[in-house]
Structure 1
Amino acid sequence: MTAPDDALATELAQERTFHEACRAAMTGMVDGAAQRVVTGENAFASGADAEVLGYQLRSWAKELAEEPDSPLFFGRLDLQDGQRYHIGRRRISEHPSAPPLVVDWRAPVSRTFYQAGARDPQGVAVRRRFGWAPWSKGDSADLTSFEDEHLTAGESAESAILAGEIERPRVGPMRDIAATIQPEQDDLVRSGLADSVCAQGAPGTGKTAVGLHRAAYLLYTHPQRIQRRGLLILGPNRTFLSYISEVLPSLGEIGIRQSTVDDEIARHEVRAQDGEAAAVVKHDARMAAVLHRALYARVAPPAEPVAVPDGSYRWRIPLDELERIVAEVRSEAPPYAVGRERVRTRAVRAIQLQAERRAGPVSNIWVQKVGRARAVSAFVDTVWPRTQPEEVLAALLTDPVDPLLTVAEQDAIRWARPPRSYRSAKWSAADLVLLDELAGLIERPEGYGHIVVDEAQDLSPMQCRAIARRAGFGSLTVLGDLAQGTTPWAARSWPEQLAHLGKEQAAVVPLTTGFRVPAVIVGLANRLVRALDVDVPQARSMRGDGELTIRRVDDVAAATVGAVRAALAHEGSIGVIADGPEADRLRAALATAGIATATADDLTVGARVTVLPATLAKGLEYDHVVVAEPAAIAGAEARGLHRLYVVLTRAVSRLDVLHSRPLPPELARRDF
């Protein structure tokens, strides 16, 4: 409940004074970190210790110096035992050993801020939320209000401050949600490091923000384990990564790798383009077995015994023993490069045992000499030849005969004009996925401690395997919405997709309550769900506001200009979304009308109007969206209705749907 006006003024003055003390402490932390860098660099220590200490001090100083200007706390907990904690995005104290003035939102005590309620106070007497002026940089004067919930007294009411923060106009990159995390979101955020989880999130449920906050939580809770092996954020494209780029820094985490699957597997520049039929085959899960067979077809049985000269004597390994060595190594199924070295090692060991039986123990130098012997190397090269992923794939695409593939599928991926050598081959984006699979078969890549995978429903089985190789000893946060799957190989069930990701046991948690997209817009999008051939619960929204307009017009371009002019009278960002060619035409029409526009890659705060093709809309949000010609979007690709579902759910306040052609039948229906 909101405090009375007379009490509000006194309380606000006290909280503003406290915020100023926190700001002074934060300034002291920044200055102190910089001073410790200077002191630490001159500290007496061994070279290795000094290097580690210097890196840690410089990283901490850099993290504090790059802290975005923002309010230092957003909530307060008054516990029944008399303790009081202000909750913010990072811990603030006047001295490292002093009690904190502000507690990090990830600290254990902060959990009750998100989870406590009137039915289960969890020891919280009063939960206070603070209202700050929009776009505040942290000036204490921007603290304008607060709300108190007396939980032990059974008080629980809708928070106007919370609703205002969730519904605040969207301008620029994605914001953090530390002040607005809901209990079901908090459960996902605070999942343990060893737990892989999957969030099936309807539009506007905050699944992306949940994933990023889980990354920040794990970095806070398990800093050494995460930093030792690394944390990776995977997004669908660079536009999306640019959109989310400021979330982790706002939570005090910098230097986190944010990438795409294509970037992670980029062994070569993409210089070829596959047709859809070829790309679908190359992304199919069966290609893993096809590639495995193509690689291990190079392993051959030995043809003759091995004789290794040693002075005047010759050590011999009979053919049957060589056959046993090769067969045993194959049965162990090690990475190809490891298998090759095992064959060499066991052949040398066979000779070593003979030598020791004849003359006693031998030296390591003697063992190394035998391992380099020409006869041993020739044997290894014959039965387990050295190879490169490019060499194997080039041979396969030149003659892709495999019983797992139909004749039509073999013809789809066969090179029309094979290169003279694999070194001169031009590789497509799908080829890079196959090369990564082969590289993983030859030698396992280094993995990450944790990977956050967003828009995971669009990943192919082969792309999932590339991620699984990098998370073999780590965990995953998998985020997506089966209803928003738009690639030809998009997933239709999470258990199957999680199996490809190597995390069959991961829990699938549905997020169905939308906090960003108004109910009237969610209701329109839900008309499409039954036609999307996926088993997902329909979304619902907590927001009763929002505006939806559907208009049939004679001139879509002119109507778009009018809709954008009207939208500019409101606060917030505006997105104009259409099929690719239509987007270019609308951008030109808006420019002719004197309306400046930006592209999807331009996420600066000053960009009010963005024109983008439907293919780049996924994951983005705008306060006002103008969707031009839905039928063109739906008809542009095989999964066009899924694409349209994505487009319709990008608006967080107002949606205009403009069409000159009839609406898709699924969208026009009103019987469910």
Structure 2
Amino acid sequence: MSIDGTHSPDDRDDPDDLDAERAHLAASRQDLARMRQRVESLDSSTAGNWVSAEILDATLARRLEQLADDPDVPLFFGRIDRAAAVGGESFHIGRRHISDSAGDPMVVDWRAPVSVPFYRASRTEPMGLARRRRYGFSHGELTGFEDESLTGGGPEQEHSALLEAEIERPRVGPMRDIVATIQPEQDVLVRADLSQTIVVQGAPGTGKTAVGLHRAAYLLYAHRDQLTRRGVLIVGPNASFLRYIRDVLPALGEIEAKQATIAELVTRNGQSHGALRAEEPAPVATLKGDVRMAELLHRAVWSHVGEPDETLVVPRGSRRWRVPTSEAHEALAGLRANDLRYAAARALLPRALAHRVLVQMERSGDSPDDRVHDAVARAKPVKDYAAALWPDLKPAKVLFRLFTDATWLAEIADGLLSDAEQEMLLWAKPPRSAGAARWSLADLVLLDEITDLLDRTPSVAHIVADEAQDLSAMMLRALGRRSTTGSLTILGDLAQATTPWASSSWADALAHLGKPDGHVEQLTRGFRVPADVIAYAARLLPHIAPDLEPPVAVRRARGDLTFTTSPVVEALAAALERPGSVGLIVPDASLPEVRAELTEAGLAYAEIGVADEETEFDAHLDLVPASLAKGLEFDHVVVSDPTAIVAGEPDRGTGLRRLYVCLTRAVTSLVVRHDGLPDELGPEELGGVPEPVDAKVSA
């Protein structure tokens, strides 16, 4: 399926070649339709039983979704031509594999090993390629292509116009995949081994979120059976963020991964100890997120195991068998030494006690078998004795007692928490019972920890956690116990940490996750945020993350950076006239005022976090609370009142990091609407102190 001929930049749109490529696209689309029709013709009528039929039906339905064809989405975005010395074959690279009726590849999946050189080959290391081709598309139609020769050495291609156009293409709607623009350093992370836990420390615009999602897609391709069986989980900071990224994996043909916020994760899909119904002061939430709480809860749970103070008497027939306190103590100690979960050990205690009885029976000349062992373990005296020593526990009741019983808390927290910290944990107005408690997010995380102390949490094969810098130690532990036999991809930026309980280092985070040997990779090359915008935002880095390398914008376009003291509606005017999405980021406290201004001006908008989940991000103009801006991108951004954004956080450091997040959401242009700027941004902008009238700095 190769197309012969070489092309320089001057004849890259040769009509004959372009027509041949369009013919290949049309044929590929027909073959995809044929593959889908083939799947549609299959059914479960030949299945041996109803279980097999259900499995087959689900498999066929999943396959049909993977073969869906969106005419606006190109079936391939690149091609590689191998050098004659290694066969001279050509392969079109696309989002999914497509084969013709003879089984030959029309399009090769971007995740296949043969596709690796498309992303990593260079003139200094061509990886067997003679040429790499990129395609230009408009609404699914092939408009042109661009060739890059990889033979003969010499300097690397300075830039790809089609690659730049794809990165900078305006859009409205949720995040899209970057499969056509993955860079070599990103591809290395995407294809890292499943067994390896990776932390991607990524500056704004470096594509860390895309790396995580494409890594999930790659692992589902490379380890299909294992990951489908054990599960892939995508964890995001809030529901709006998850809706923003919702289309990426389906666009790549992957529908297996589940998405959840931390709150959804620890509430176990609504079947938990209660709903998230309360908020609490930041110092209290920070204490509850401290890793010392893990030891506190461990002590609290295991303190319920008692010490035997009387002999166990078991009547059986005409005999009465006795287990002295010393042997009961040995049974308890043996179970605790086996590192079992509380509930599992509790379930074994009656059998451990029954074993002592059977030993006595054997010494007396009897020959008890397993049925006798089971009968003794189920005997009421044994069950009652075991229950008194090892009571059944409910997570909510354990935590409720800790927060309401000052004496017990002091006993459990001795040497672990100060008196002042214990006072912070105690409820000033405790509810009547655990069932009436209003749990905070930090409480739900603690309840999840207790649940795991009682019963082991199932592990999934892989977890991708985004914006992980904002997770507390206890939240990280919640992720870690869900990947005890799996691996994680952790995505974040310490400079964007905006919670009081945020991680101070990735080494600490890996320790809390239970993956101390995890690998940390730093991405600093920014492909999304324009150079002038990132340079301006980077003025905050010495104040918020002095140890991090500043991001470097690699796009030729500098972007538009504008400062204005005009009202919000006027500040939006220029952005609304341009194609692509517009994000108006405002302090949370200013939302009512800004809503009124937009409504009075007759501007249609959707508010992030409030808009219907089916339409969120589908508007031309999105109103974005500063607290929900993290992880989102818009072609044009207006940040209103930076000083108020900083002041809206518990401390100045957190506020400056929040502002850094807001300033780095733009792909094309940024307008800073202000009535005075924070001192940390300096007394002047890129071109000098802004005058009362608009001042603009652009390429």
Q: TM-score range by the shorter chain?
A: over 0.9
Distance 1:149 1:550, change over 3 A: closer
AA at the equivalent of 2:678: P
**In the alignment, which residue of structure 1 is the partner of 2:521?**
509
**In the alignment, which residue of structure 1 is the partner of 2:488?**
476
Partner deviation per Cα, 1:525-580 (whole Å, 9 max, x = no partner): 11101111453111110123244445352xx5x2x212211112221111111111
Partner SS, residue 463 of structure 1: helix
Aligned runs of 1:41-440 on 2, under 5 Å? Answer: 41-65=44-68, 69-80=72-83, 81-95=87-101, 98-133=103-138, 136=139, 138=140, 142-154=141-153, 156-157=156-157, 158-266=159-267, 267=272, 268-398=274-404, 399=406, 400-401=409-410, 402-403=413-414, 404-440=416-452
2:543 aligned with 1:573: no
1: CA distance, partners of 2:618 / 2:442: 37
Distance 1:568 1:2, change over 3 A: farther
2:663 aligned with 1:648: yes
2: CA distance, partners of 1:336 / 1:67: 52
Calculate the aligned-residue CA RMSD, in Å.
1.9
> Residue 305 of structure 2 contacts residue 391 of structure 2 at CA under 8 Å; is this kept in 1?
yes
2: CA distance, partners of 1:618 / 1:216: 23
Mark the runs of 5 or more structure 1 residues left unpaired by the alignment: none
**In the alignment, which residue of structure 1 is the partner of 2:674?**
659
Aligned runs of 1:616-631 on 2, under 5 Å? Answer: 616-631=628-643
Distance 1:575 1:146, change over 3 A: same
Distance 1:649 1:427, change over 3 A: same
Quick one: which of 3, 20, 30 aligns to 2:26?
Answer: 20
How far off its partner does 1:168 sit?
A: 1.1
Aligned runs of 1:437-476 on 2, under 5 Å? Answer: 437-476=449-488
**In the alignment, which residue of structure 1 is the partner of 2:505?**
493
> Residue 494 of structure 2 contacts residue 545 of structure 2 at CA under 8 Å; is this kept in 1?
no
Distance 1:7 1:530, change over 3 A: closer
Distance 1:344 1:67, change over 3 A: farther
How far off its partner does 1:382 sit?
A: 1.8
How far off its partner does 1:360 sit?
A: 4.5
> Residue 91 of structure 2 contacts residue 108 of structure 2 at CA under 8 Å; is this kept in 1?
yes
1: CA distance, partners of 2:279 / 2:646: 24
How far off its partner does 1:409 sit?
A: 1.4
Equivalenced residues, count: 657
Partner deviation per Cα, 1:214-247 (whole Å, 9 max, x = no partner): 0000000000000111000000001100100000
Partner deviation per Cα, 1:400-424 (whole Å, 9 max, x = no partner): 3212112221111211222332233
1: CA distance, partners of 2:99 / 2:564: 59
> Residue 645 of structure 2 contacts residue 655 of structure 2 at CA under 8 Å; is this kept in 1?
yes
1: CA distance, partners of 2:576 / 2:116: 40
> Residue 608 of structure 2 contacts residue 616 of structure 2 at CA under 8 Å; is this kept in 1?
no
AA at the equivalent of 2:326: D
2: CA distance, partners of 1:476 / 1:538: 26
2: CA distance, partners of 1:327 / 1:203: 53
Distance 1:533 1:513, change over 3 A: closer
How far off its partner does 1:67 sit?
A: 6.0
Mark the runs of 5 or more structure 2 residues left unpaired by the alignment: 1-6, 687-699
Partner SS, residue 154 of structure 1: coil
Could you tell which deviates more after superposition, 584-593 or 617-626? 584-593
> Residue 67 of structure 1 contacts residue 252 of structure 1 at CA under 8 Å; is this kept in 2?
no
Partner SS, residue 393 of structure 1: helix
> Residue 177 of structure 2 contacts residue 248 of structure 2 at CA under 8 Å; is this kept in 1?
yes
1: CA distance, partners of 2:63 / 2:242: 24
AA at the equivalent of 2:61: R
Distance 1:391 1:578, change over 3 A: same
> Residue 541 of structure 2 contacts residue 550 of structure 2 at CA under 8 Å; is this kept in 1?
yes
Partner SS, residue 302 of structure 1: coil
> Residue 492 of structure 1 contacts residue 535 of structure 1 at CA under 8 Å; is this kept in 2?
no
2: CA distance, partners of 1:549 / 1:183: 29
Partner deviation per Cα, 1:376-395 (whole Å, 9 max, x = no partner): 11221122111110111011
Distance 1:66 1:102, change over 3 A: closer
Distance 1:538 1:377, change over 3 A: same
AA at the equivalent of 1:432: L
Q: TM-score, normalised to structure 2's length?
A: 0.91
2: CA distance, partners of 1:298 / 1:617: 45
Partner SS, residue 530 of structure 1: helix
Partner deviation per Cα, 1:322-345 (whole Å, 9 max, x = no partner): 111112222333111011123222
> Residue 231 of structure 2 contacts residue 256 of structure 2 at CA under 8 Å; is this kept in 1?
no
2: CA distance, partners of 1:166 / 1:533: 28
How far off its partner does 1:3 sit?
A: 4.4
Partner SS, residue 458 of structure 2: coil
How far off its partner does 1:359 sit?
A: 3.9
Identity %, equivalent residues: 46
> Residue 204 of structure 2 contacts residue 551 of structure 2 at CA under 8 Å; is this kept in 1?
yes
> Residue 129 of structure 1 contacts residue 148 of structure 1 at CA under 8 Å; is this kept in 2?
yes
AA at the equivalent of 1:252: G
Distance 1:451 1:665, change over 3 A: same
2: CA distance, partners of 1:605 / 1:32: 36
AA at the equivalent of 2:133: R
Partner SS, residue 326 of structure 2: helix
1: CA distance, partners of 2:70 / 2:12: 35
1: CA distance, partners of 2:353 / 2:283: 46
Could you tell which deviates more after superposition, 55-64 or 337-346? 55-64
> Residue 315 of structure 1 contacts residue 351 of structure 1 at CA under 8 Å; is this kept in 2?
yes
Could you tell which deviates more after superposition, 143-152 or 662-671? 662-671
> Residue 589 of structure 2 contacts residue 648 of structure 2 at CA under 8 Å; is this kept in 1?
no
Aligned runs of 1:501-580 on 2, under 5 Å? Answer: 501-533=513-545, 535-551=547-563, 553=565, 556=566, 558=567, 560-580=568-588
Distance 1:670 1:7, change over 3 A: closer
How far off its partner does 1:64 sit?
A: 2.1
How far off its partner does 1:635 sit?
A: 1.2
2:591 aligned with 1:588: no
